[in-house]
Amino acid sequence: MIRLNIEKTLKSGGGNMVLDLELNIVKGEFITLFGDSGAGKTSTLRMLSGLLKPDSGIITVDGTTWFDSHKKINLIPQQRKVGYVFQDYALFPNMTVRQNLEYALQRNQDGDIIEELLDLAQLNELQQRKPETLSGGQKQRVALARALVQRPDILILDEPLSALDLKMRIKLQEYLLQIHKKYKLTTILVSHDVGEIVKLSDCVFELQNGRVIKKGTASDFFGLTKTSAKFRFSGEVLKIVQEDVIYVISVLIGNDIIKVVSDRREANGLKVGDQVLVASKAFNPIIQKI
């Protein structure tokens, strides 16, 4: 159980922002922090991992105090046992893939975990390569494997998939789920992708201007339980065109653009760039092998 109740004034370009958060995270859950950029998501992760010091408050993890401003307790990142996957991966260019993983070994730790993780992340053939020669998805797998070497209880993922193409994202989402279960992690993800969040997370916290404004299970959160549809996809509105009395809305779902017919009332509530859910009752689908 992670209990985090902290306050921190962040200085940003547009003036100061006060981050005032209360998060309770159940052990073993997959959590997503969701919200606009600048809402305080990354700062929250940095404070949990000890890279940023809160102004005041308390952080406890499984009954151990990591930070307490009254008792003047502030564990350094080295003592917190958090696996952190950075947005830029932070792979060390002077080391090969294998050496990057080996560097993360703790004193007296058995090296078997390296083979296990190389296998799991399918990095065996790449283990002697330097990070600069790897593709984005490969780097991502190395960063993920490296964060797991020290057997952390908590895994932090700061928008790890945002720079990857769709196919790679889907593959890595599978990895994340697999790893989350296999190592019984408490995983905290920052993501903007609704599909990704629904697929991965147990619980979603939405942050806005440094505060949690909404919390719930992924399905509740995005209103998925309101519909009884069999097909449902999330996507982004690309174009809204009026044709006579109806509106045709082009929606990007994955790599496909689909056109959805809607009436004026529905179309008025939408604008280009909105994230939407497209659902349909599946009473007459056509299935064919491709």
Among 10, 17, 51, 229, binds another protein (CB under 8 A): 51
The reply on whether position 49 binds another protein by CB under 8 A is yes
Q: Answer yes or no: are the C-beta atoms of 234 and 275 closer than 8 Å.
A: yes
Among 121, 149, 197, 251, binds another protein (CB under 8 A): 149
Residues 6+ apart with CB under 8 A from 79: 50
Residues 6+ apart with CB under 8 A from 254: 166, 195, 233, 235
The reply on whether position 77 binds another protein by CB under 8 A is yes
**Residue for token pair 């859950």:** 29
The reply on whether position 160 binds another protein by CB under 8 A is no
Residues 6+ apart with CB under 8 A from 205: 23, 31, 32, 33, 34, 212, 214, 215
- Which residue's CB is nearer to another protein, number 44 or number 49? 49
- Which residue's CB is nearer to another protein, number 31 or number 155? 155
- Which residue's CB is nearer to another protein, number 143 or number 197? 143
- Which residue's CB is nearer to another protein, number 79 or number 268? 79
Among 90, 177, 224, 248, binds another protein (CB under 8 A): 90
Among 78, 108, 228, 255, binds another protein (CB under 8 A): 78
The reply on whether position 150 binds another protein by CB under 8 A is yes
- Which residue's CB is nearer to another protein, number 99 or number 262? 99
The reply on whether position 37 binds another protein by CB under 8 A is no
Q: Based on the number of CB atoms within 10 Å of its own CB, is 262 exposed (0-12), middle (13-18) or buried (19 or more)?
A: middle
The reply on whether position 223 binds another protein by CB under 8 A is no
Residues 6+ apart with CB under 8 A from 147: 83, 84, 85, 104, 155, 156
How many residues line the site for another protein (CB under 8 A)?
A: 25
Residue 234 CB neighbours (<10 A): 20
Which stretch, 55-63, 82-90, 204-212, 262-270, contacts another protein (CB under 8 A)?
A: 82-90
The reply on whether position 231 binds another protein by CB under 8 A is no
Q: Is 18 helix (H, G, I), strand (E, B) or coil?
A: strand
- Which residue's CB is nearer to another protein, number 87 or number 217? 87
CA distance 275 to 273: 6
- Which residue's CB is nearer to another protein, number 82 or number 197? 82
CA distance 190 to 159: 5
User: What's the gap between Cα 92 and its chain centre?
Assistant: 22
Q: How far is CA 242 from CA 245, 261, 265, 279, in A?
A: 7, 10, 12, 21
Which stretch, 10-18, 145-153, 188-196, 277-285, contacts another protein (CB under 8 A)?
A: 145-153
CA distance 116 to 166: 27
Task: Tell me phi and psi for residue 125, to 5 degrees.
Answer: -75, -15
Q: Rule CB under 8 A: which of 105-144 touch another protein?
A: 106
Which stretch, 9-17, 22-30, 79-87, 257-265, contacts another protein (CB under 8 A)?
A: 79-87
- Which residue's CB is nearer to another protein, number 142 or number 218? 142
Q: Which residues bind another protein (CB under 8 A)?
A: 49-51, 76-84, 86, 88, 90, 92-94, 103-104, 106, 146-147, 149-150
